[in-house]
A and B are shown apart, each in its own frame.
Chain A
Amino acid sequence: MITVDNLTKRFGPFTAVGGLSFTVKPGEVLGFLGPNGAGKSTTMKMITGFLAPTSGQVTVFGHNVQEDSLAASTVMGYLPEGAPSYGDMSPLKFLRFVGEVRGFKGRELSQRVDSVVQALQLSTVLNQPIDTLSKGFKRRVGLAQAIIHDPKVLVLDEPTDGLDPNQKHEVRKLIQNLSKDKIVIVSTHILEEVTAVCTRAMIIAGGKLLVDDTPDALAARSRLHGAIRLQLSHADDAYQQLSGLAGVDEIERGDQADSLTVYPKKGVSLFLPINQLLQQNSWEVHEFHVERGRLDDVFRDLTQGGCLHG
């Protein structure tokens, strides 16, 4: 259990994080979303105890991260932004170092190192200096270091930044697999990641918490939520008839002449009426797609102060 209580950080006159409060329970995967400079990294640095807050406090499983920092750091694994590691060391030596600092010795140390090397597929670069590794490998070394002690709390600052799609997928799978009884806090720019791994999403901008909800509920705020995308013959005819349909808010012509996007009025499902209409007219339908809502629309609307639809 992590309790963040009225957390504030000021750098001179600039308020990076202003009065943030929330709790995270075991089993939750919390995604931090926000534009650059929103205070995500600063918040994570305060949660892990690296940065002292100007006011407020963070408690991790009963340990205050400032006053009881050693105890708090033993239950936490942390991947700092940019995955820093000692460039002149090899992944093997680096992981053994972190393992030793975490108090593992002998057989257990080797087992721990082996298991994270396997989990993150590092075996091919084990003895190369970290400096010479690609960005993706460096990131994975950083992740391996964070999970070597099987921590109850995992704090990952942009864990998939710089990875290729396959590696991103691997890392997400890794996070999903370990999150059963753990607390995972992930910050990211990549919104699909939130839908993929998080059970809860927070949008932060200007150091303030804007939204705290499930990714699905967030997506539902999008104007596109429940909209139906069609590609069909007789698009003009369809446009006419669909306009007359009850519950339709607006229809948009797509880039191609034969595609339409039908937006519903708030809380209305258009699936059945449109389906019926299509069958009655026996138009040739090439595509029929119900939109779930786009997180990036919601994100943009919220963080740029635009109005929300739906």
Chain B
Amino acid sequence: MGNFNVVLKRELASYFATPLAYVFIVIFLMLTGVFTFFLGGFFENGQADLWAFFNFHPWLYLFLVPALSMRLWSEERKSGTIELLMTLPISLKGMVVGKFLAAWLFTGIALVLTFPLWLTVNYLGDPDNGAILAGYLGSWMMSGGFLAIGSCISATTKNQVIAFILTAVVSFLFVMSGFNLVQEWITGWAWDWVVDAVAALSFLTHFNAIAKGVLDLRDVLFFLVIIVGWLLATAIVLDMKKAD
């Protein structure tokens, strides 16, 4: 997988070579602001934490991350550069990991740029900075999960719009599977272990635990397994469908 870092570098630079990076970051910062202050009631809560901020991240990622991940492979397939890339001496693994890491680092950058919020809570009160750090880490891990799903779906199609919509739908299922609505719906007819398995797949359950400041290794592991699993699927899809 040797030179995945060359792919990573190219990919990350290409975000900033187009308006994509700036549009994404600006929208992300604006929406986190809106969610935190208006919907989350940041001030009304009267608590020095960033719960109101992290609480909305799953919903934000639901449509922002697919916008980022849709181009990962669809664009290469559409423009034919996939043929160039795949005949260069880079392993398939190196390409998949390089591209994914570039996108993941990019969401990391967007997250880091929300630091004024962190400054604000520290100015207003005396928050548990460890818990906030855990929240950031959890949010970043979760964005990785969404990106890995998006990477795989992007590999299946030349059409970025289809990649966007499918990624949003699949991601939505992964978020919702922990909700009472879904749980009650399947409890009626499915076996208990199925109900448990579906609940265990929920991004929300695992993220909420981390976002509250409880950094459980199992939750971190969950996202890592999700990422690795979907990236493996990406590699398999690419190998099967690269020339279609």
Contact = CB atoms under 8 A, between A and B. Distances in A.
Interface in B80-101: 80-81, 83-84, 86-91
B18 interface: yes
Contact of A88 (B18, B88, B89, B243): B18
Contact of B84 (A74, A80, A93, A100): A80
Contacts, number: 63
Interface string A36-72: 0000000001001111000000000000000000100
A78 B89 contact: no
A101 interface: yes
B83 A84 contact: yes
A100 B6 contact: yes
B6 A84 contact: no
Nearest to B244: A11
Contacts of B17: 88-89, 129
Interface residues of B, number: 21
A86 interface: yes
Contacts of A309: none
Contacts of A103: 3, 89
A102 B89 contact: yes
Nearest to B79: A84
B242 interface: yes
A73 B89 contact: yes
B79 A102 contact: no
B87 A101 contact: no
B6 A101 contact: yes
B243 A50 contact: yes
Contacts of B3: 100-101, 103
Interface of B: 3, 6-7, 10, 13-14, 17-18, 79-81, 83-84, 86-91, 242-243
Given A74-B89, A89-B17, 10 more contacts: A50-B87, A73-B89, A84-B79, A84-B80, A85-B81, A88-B14, A101-B3, A101-B6, A101-B90, A103-B89
10 contacts: A45-B243, A48-B87, A50-B86, A73-B87, A76-B87, A81-B80, A86-B14, A87-B79, A89-B10, A101-B90
